[in-house]
Amino acid sequence: MQNAVSIDASTLELMEHRAKIFAGIWKEVESEGSKPERVRDVVVMPYEEFAEKVVFGDTGTAEGLVRQLYAGDGFVLKGAFSREFWQGLKNRAAEYAEKTPASFGRILEGAEDFHRYVHADMSERYAAHRLRHDFHFYPWNDDPLGMREECDQRWRVFKVMNGLGPLKGASNTPKDGIVDRYHVFHYPRGGGSIQIHSDPTQNQKTIMISLGTKRGVDYQTGGLFLVDADGNHVDCEPLIDPGDMVTCYAHVHHGVETVDGGEELDWSPKRGRWFLGFYSIDSDYIEERGTIVGINDDDPPTK
């Protein structure tokens, strides 16, 4: 497995131990102050270095990572996935959309995978306004995009950093309250975007996403930004190549500037911006589900 910590029985045992260390550190650090809303800095490092720190580092290394994240630092983790993985994922997602009618389903027992085009006239239904093509996949179903093994290798590392066991929740179904879900999004040219928002932190402390496209190649403008203390949009896209991952504390305000705004809307999967994310979310059996929160913005200049 390229660019991933090798997972065997002894490593899983170590990861369980490391998760408990991270959980204790998160509890202490979060008690010291309010949740960060703004980015402080964006750190770039190889994914392999990050994974080694999470799984094999000492307690001081774990505390350093947690304190950086809780101070508002974002991380761009280079080379987490291969370009070949991402090309295959995009191709299979496009094939899945062609063969499978668009639909929507609540997170209840037996929930099926689905994809959905979120058009402008549907955006108001969401806590954070968006325009994109959403794909949602559950671990109890088949793996139609053939991505789960590679994704789980990385997700386990992030779960440890989030203070969870590497397999925590992986076998849950909706009746258990919290379930894992793989998100694949296509932000089309000429409109793909999502409003500034913060993500809930009760099930996972950080966002864990990967990008499969490159600005300047697959689209020309727009993309991921984090909001700094002055309200400026800190443009992350120049730092990101296909296969990289991005993480930050989930409460930090972030969004996606319109992809190729001003161009004609084009849903073709061959162009635009592709996203992959790992989320542990509340099922619909939970009455007050934790969801993202849209943030109002006066469109400050991107820096």
- Residue 303 in domain: no
Distance CA(73)–CA(71), nearest Å, equals 6
Please write down the long-range contacts of 120-124, taking CB distance under 8 Å and 24 or more positions apart: 120/191
Q: Is residue 42 part of a domain?
A: yes
Query: For residue 22, which of 166, 150, 155 has the smallest C-alpha distance?
Result: 166
What is the model's pLDDT at position 298? 55
pLDDT digit string, tens, across residues 5-21: 556 788 899 999 999 99
* φ and ψ of 179, to 5 deg: -130, 155
The reported pLDDT for the residue numbered 299 is 42
Is 50 among the domain residues? yes
pLDDT in tens, 73-95: 999 999 999 999 999 999 999 99
Q: How many domains does the chain have?
A: 1
Longest dimension (CA), the chain: 53
Structural domain contains residue 301: no
Which CATH number does the domain housing residue 32 bear? Answer: 2.60.120.620
Percent of the chain with pLDDT over 90: 89
DSSP 8-state code for residue 252: S
* Structural domain contains residue 67: yes
Residue with tokens 């799984």: 55
**Does a structural domain hold residue 1?**
no
Instruction: List phi, psi (to 5°) of 188.
Output: -75, 155
Report pLDDT digits (tens) over 195-237: 999 999 999 999 999 999 999 999 999 999 999 999 999 999 9
Domain limits at 121?
A: 9-294
Residue 257: what pLDDT? 97
Q: Which residues sit opposite 137 in a β-bridge?
A: 182
Q: Which residues on adjacent β-strands are paired with residue 117? A: 133
* 12-65-206 Cα angle (round to 5): 75
Q: Is the pTM of this model over 0.85?
A: yes
